[in-house]
Structure 1
């Protein structure tokens, strides 16, 4: 969430930057400033009324001490009117504060200068490509056919139990899935990230804290009777561990990792792009997160990119890195790098990770601050990235490592899954 003081100071600059997201932010910014002006006027009137009431109360006490009872009682009537006025002003002020909060919740983060302009994912900027494209046999199969051939993932059974987008992993498919989870967690903890195991359901405050609400409300599964949400990513519960906290400078950076199933409705997703593991309603993901000093968040983002690169290179999967354009940038992000692996059988790139810097945007919603020495308190910066999302990694391994009658396992995963191939 943007800070209203920053909007007052940089309104024109923010409006221009938000054009990269293909939105005219002026109406939202103007509305926020108008409500804020009313809020500040109400606050000034309330402060003035309370000060006058306190002044008169002191005067009343002095009059009673002096035996001037009649004059004191006359002033008491006036203080009664002031108390009623302050009550009305307090209610108006609270309403203005809430109205301002609701408007600020709808304004997305400001893209960094390096974010390219663009309307959709077709305008994302390819930063680099790595690895050699595998040369598959002529009769190579996509992963959903490989899954059926070797009986390792059952999409029809998942549809029977729940519905489309909820696959059942079987035998070596389940073991490979578990191997990937453990491998990713080990790589992350070796890099200094503290492993966390968190709830899969969060309350509304947590959803607002990291920016999924109200922006992604329609994409989240809502348990209405308890007013809880199934998490779309472990970013939500892990980041909310520090909601409302005041950290010491020495606590930074805080680095965390966690594995969770993730749940996304993905309403309106149809067609070839959702076949097999390409797009699911329930999927597994390992996340890395950082809480950083503002001066160090840009460097931390670069370090996270290097970390994800290292994992993909160990898995020997061809990949590329993209800098997302303004039109494809997430609501809370100021800069995002996407990682895509190449699916040889499908002949397409599949997104497997997004690594993002949110700057102070989430921290302002979370009220997450740190003591910055003589400078008092300051909002921290938050970052997160997938390391990694499993479905498309698994799909790419199955497709890229297939040979005539079996599927090889990447060398880095053999110690984790206990077998060298699927046959």
Structure 2
């Protein structure tokens, strides 16, 4: 969430950033925010004046009673009672105006970093790095959903029977390979200094609001209405909310966490090869990395996270590219995002497997996540997160790119985790 003083002092900069996102009615909304804030501050002045006058009168009333001037005290009591009514009305106006202002601020996305390219859709994203060569597959090569059926690795039809479309059942070596990837990702992350953390898979509304999934993505989250809890669409939510309402010490930076969670997303269904098999699921596994950083270090931290994911994909021997998302494709809370895409040889297309983002102070302001600097002043921290990695499309690319006429060859880095070299 943007800070009011920042909007007030940098209105043109904010409007330019929102224009880069193709955000509609930006000027009207920003003007409404500033007008509502001005109203809120004027009500606050009136409320403070009324309360101060009321407190003064109460002291006067006490003095008059002590000096035996009850008649004068009773006159002031009537005035004091009127002030209390006025103060209550002003407090209600203030609360209502504050809620209106907060609701407006929740509709405004983060301001893109200067490195974010202009553009309205994924077609305008900028490829900034590419590594690896697509393998040459044999003539009878299959997409991963056919390989999964051939080798009894993943049963999509059984998942549909148990729950519905988008909830696959992993079996045998498919389940072992899935677990191997999770363990490898966690080991790789902890070796890089991230603390492994197990978190709840359901969160309350405050947690969803804190990281920005609510109210922006409310329709995409599974909601357990009786308990008013939400199934997490990403481990980012519970991991980052560990620090909600916290005042950190500056020497605690950087805070680096990693965690494995299943993720649940109520994405609208569609049809075609681009969403078949593991390409789009309602439940999937992901290993996340989260950093809480000093503002002066977050840009450097983002580059370090990008290099970390690069190393993982290189060790998996998957051809990949890094894409700088344009303003129109940038997530609501992010100011800068790099997507990682692996090339699927059997599908002849790029598959997104990770997003690594810097949110700067946007989430921290919603979370009330602050630290005390050396001068003892309270400041907002910076938050970052990234998938390291999301499993479904990584698994799909491993199956497709490593298939041979004799079976599927397991990447060397995973063999100590799987206990087998081939799927036959």
TM-score of Structure 1 vs Structure 2, range by shorter chain: over 0.9
Aligned to 1:140: 141
Q: Secondary structure at the match of 2:10?
A: helix
Give the TM-score of the pair, scaled to structure 2.
0.98
Aligned to 1:240: 241
Q: Distance in 2 between matches of 1:168 and 1:297?
A: 39
Q: Secondary structure at the match of 2:129?
A: strand
The aligned runs of 1:360-399 (5 Å cut-off) are: 360-399=361-400
Q: Distance in 2 between matches of 1:116 and 1:55?
A: 58
Deviations 1:370-405 (A, max 9, x none): 111215101110000000000000000001111102
Aligned to 2:12: 12
Aligned to 1:406: 407
Aligned to 1:72: 73
Size of the aligned set, in residue pairs, is: 423
Q: Distance in 1 between matches of 2:102 and 2:17?
A: 21
Deviations 1:285-307 (A, max 9, x none): 00000000111110100000000
Moved >4 Å (runs of 4+): none
Q: Secondary structure at the match of 2:100?
A: helix
Aligned to 1:330: 331
The aligned runs of 1:203-214 (5 Å cut-off) are: 203-214=204-215
* 1:305 aligned onto 2:302: no
Q: Distance in 1 between matches of 2:90 and 2:143?
A: 65
Aligned to 1:224: 225
Q: Distance in 1 between matches of 2:96 and 2:374?
A: 34
* 1:93 aligned onto 2:58: no
Instruction: Give, in angstroms, the shift of residue 122 of structure 1.
Output: 1.1
> What do you get for the CA RMSD once the two structures are aligned?
0.9
Q: Distance in 2 between matches of 1:242 and 1:27?
A: 34
Aligned to 2:164: 163
Instruction: Give, in angstroms, the shift of residue 68 of structure 1.
Output: 2.3
Aligned to 2:344: 343
Instruction: Give, in angstroms, the shift of residue 61 of structure 1.
Output: 2.5
* 1:252 aligned onto 2:253: yes
Instruction: Give, in angstroms, the shift of residue 202 of structure 1.
Output: 0.7
Q: Distance in 1 between matches of 2:100 and 2:253?
A: 33
Q: Distance in 1 between matches of 2:263 and 2:327?
A: 25
Alignment CA distance shift 1:294-1:269 (3 Å): farther
Q: Distance in 1 between matches of 2:227 and 2:61?
A: 52
Q: Distance in 2 between matches of 1:60 and 1:95?
A: 32
Q: Distance in 1 between matches of 2:164 and 2:76?
A: 72
Q: Which runs of 5+ in 1 are unaligned?
A: none
Q: Which runs of 5+ in 2 are unaligned?
A: none
Q: Secondary structure at the match of 2:242?
A: helix
Deviations 1:134-185 (A, max 9, x none): 1111221110111111111111111111111111111000000000000000
Q: Distance in 2 between matches of 1:48 and 1:319?
A: 63
Q: Distance in 2 between matches of 1:107 and 1:403?
A: 50
Q: Distance in 2 between matches of 1:253 and 1:93?
A: 38
Instruction: Give, in angstroms, the shift of residue 33 of structure 1.
Output: 1.1
Give the TM-score of the pair, scaled to structure 1.
0.98
